[in-house]
Amino acid sequence: MELTAYRERFPILAETTYLINHSLGAMPAAAADRVAEYARVWATRGIRAWGEGWWTMPVTVGDQIGRIVGAPPGSTVMHQNVTVAEAIVLSCFRLEPPRNKIVLQEGDFPSVRYVYQAQAERGAEVVVVSDEEALLEAIDERTLLVPVSHVLFKSAEIQDVEAIVRRAHDVGAHVVLDAYQSAGTVPLDVTALEVDFAVGGSVKWLCGGPGAGWLYVRPDLADRLEPTLAGWQAHERPFAFAPEMEFAEGAARFLTGTPNVPALYAATPGYDLIEEIGVERIRANSIRQTELLIGLLDEAGFEVGSPRDPLRRGGTVTVLTPGFEGVHKELAERGILCDFRPEAGLRLGPHYFTTDEELAFAVEQIVEIVGSGAYERHLGAAARF
């Protein structure tokens, strides 16, 4: 099947040029059916639904994520978001010298930084470095955790995860990979990479919507860890309502309380499509289209910020234009959806269903908006999204 044939599965593509899949991936029409199915089950099965699949959804849906990111069954569980997943990882460790150092990069997602930076109050030495080279240098025998973004959210730069894992493991530190900006568009094999933990969500390239974050824990490590942020879903026998925690085996021990069932229903149609097409094929198309986009933006004389080397570039192209906040707003009024980030400029994120014609149209419109000054009327009225 041609990739463009998938367009009819995404209602919003009939109305807009949708170049914001790095932020909120387009909704597959099948997600609406799944949400209706959730309501039907709730209405007709009631309490019986827990035993008929709802209770185990964090694990069964996690296994589907596992197939996309190279994790074996039982090693990935669902959570509300990445922030919660990172906090659970953190809760497995004491923050005591001599191993209490956490090394981050300035380009990591702010919410992730907030979680780790707050640990300075609880005895951690938190070091935030400017780039990958500095990160490698900062990892030493005192390092406990190295949270690392697979693809940086602002620049779309792919990080050399192998080198970081090698360095971290050489000194006995654990790597927590944030794969939010890669899963579903850049091939990823958490087993081959030997990361200790990986986290991500469904809002972006997986087209699964909000409320379906995920956490992978290396299977040989999982049974040695006891998270202090854990709830009754992490218990070996949750319905015994025992007074003390007895951890379940595998990644289930990293669960908390009642799962986010409707979000897990809504998430899987996006995953189904990623599995059907295959991330390798999506990546080949993404490299071709981001190359095409960069060529068009170069020709128009704009400053492209994302890496030129396709091996170092994720699925997004960032470009600086005069008054990019206003350009973004004017594009939205013309039915072209993208976003912008401070300093980085516009972010354009095509996905497997985007056509080459849409990319040409978007660049043509940017040129017109900048040339005519149409963006100026929006400046000052800062848009939030």
By CB under 6 A, name the binding residues for ligand PLP.
81-83, 109, 111-112, 149, 153, 178, 180-181, 201, 213
**Contact (Cβ atoms closer than 8 angstroms) between residue 288 and residue 86:** no
**Residue 259 CB, nearest distance to ligand PLP (Å)?**
16
The residue written with tokens 């990160």 in the block is 135
The long-range contacts involving 294-299, CB below 8 angstroms and separated by at least 24 positions, are 296/359, 296/360, 296/363, 297/363, 297/366
**Residue 61 CB, nearest distance to ligand PLP (Å)?**
16
Check residue 99 and report its DSSP letter. B
Alpha carbon distance 353, 374 (integer Å):
29
**Residue 315 CB, nearest distance to ligand PLP (Å)?**
12
**Residue 47 CB, nearest distance to ligand PLP (Å)?**
30
Cβ distance to ligand PLP smaller for residue 82 or 92: 82
Cβ distance to ligand PLP smaller for residue 28 or 107: 107
**Residue 241 CB, nearest distance to ligand PLP (Å)?**
30
Alpha carbon distance 295, 253 (integer Å):
48
Cβ distance to ligand PLP smaller for residue 179 or 293: 179
**Residue 69 CB, nearest distance to ligand PLP (Å)?**
14
**Contact (Cβ atoms closer than 8 angstroms) between residue 350 and residue 338:** no
The residue written with tokens 């309380």 in the block is 257
Cβ distance to ligand PLP smaller for residue 87 or 95: 87
Alpha carbon distance 20, 144 (integer Å):
35
CA distances from 263 to 61, 86, 258, 310 (A): 11, 19, 12, 33
Cβ distance to ligand PLP smaller for residue 63 or 178: 178
Q: Which residue stretches of 119-222 are H helix?
A: 132-138, 161-170, 190-193, 219-222
Cβ distance to ligand PLP smaller for residue 103 or 370: 103
